[in-house]
Amino acid sequence: MNRNVMNRNVKKSVGIAAIVAALAAGSFSLIARAEEAPREIPAPALDEPAGQRGAETVVLAGGCFWGVQGVFEHVKGVTRAVSGYAGGEAATAHYEITGRGDTGHAESVQVTFNPAEISLGHILQIYFSVAHDPTQLNRQGPDRGSQYRSAIFPASDEQAKIARAYIAQLNQARIYQAAIVTKIEPDRIFYPAESYHQDFLARNPTYPYIRINDLPKIAALKQLYPGVYRDDPVLVGDAMR
């Protein structure tokens, strides 16, 4: 394991001893759901027109990028999901620097998808219901800090409009016990993360953090959205390694 990846575990508020104990007790999925409970939510009332052609991208932040990337790599219509950083400058778009929490960056995932197969609205539906808990401010699961905030970095005014309308719709329907805190942050550049972070969930399914916090999200995706779930994830692959 890369030393930097192992160092990440030092930053987690859940200790290895507690993780191992939870695994031994077979309760890892319960821990994950207590922090980030997946739930079925209505589709957005406002969405892109159906049948559009050409690839589209949107950048989503929702806690540790390992899990967010892992979820969208299992979604049909997604052609690429890259972990990275958004919200700050190029000079600070590095894992160790971003981890300080003062760079403006959020751990993010650039999701490229085919709108003829899956709409932006459906991408956001998965994002809000499975990939993370949008009511947690500057935290997600065991991770704390603004680098783990819930944020959408839209690629266009239309994307921003759809995202804002969906947040308002979910808040008005009181889907969650608390208000959604997801920020819409336009005009931000996405910077791909280091190669050892790419496809981390797919390459390390037995890693304790992944088993506790992220594998339940994959299970929830399959359960809640079987029509778009794919068993074989679409991976970034060797291009960035």
Other beta carbons less than 10 A from residue 8's beta carbon:
20
Report d(CA 151, CA 134) in Å as an integer: 9
Q: What residue has token string 């304790």?
A: 208
Tokens of 43: 């589709």
Contact indicator for 199, 69 with CB cutoff of 8 Å: yes
Order of strands across the sheet that contains 150-153: 183-184, 150-153, 56-62, 106-113, 78-86, 190-192
64 is catalytic: yes
Polymer length in residues for the chain = 241
Report d(CA 156, CA 98) in Å as an integer: 25
Of 41, 64, 75, 130, catalytic: 64
Report d(CA 78, CA 106) in Å as an integer: 21
Tokens of 60: 């989503």
CA Rg, the chain, in Å? 17
Long-range contacts of 3-7 (CB under 8 A, 24+ apart): 4/95, 4/96, 4/194, 4/196, 5/196, 5/197, 5/200, 7/96
- Indicate which residues carry an active-site annotation: 64
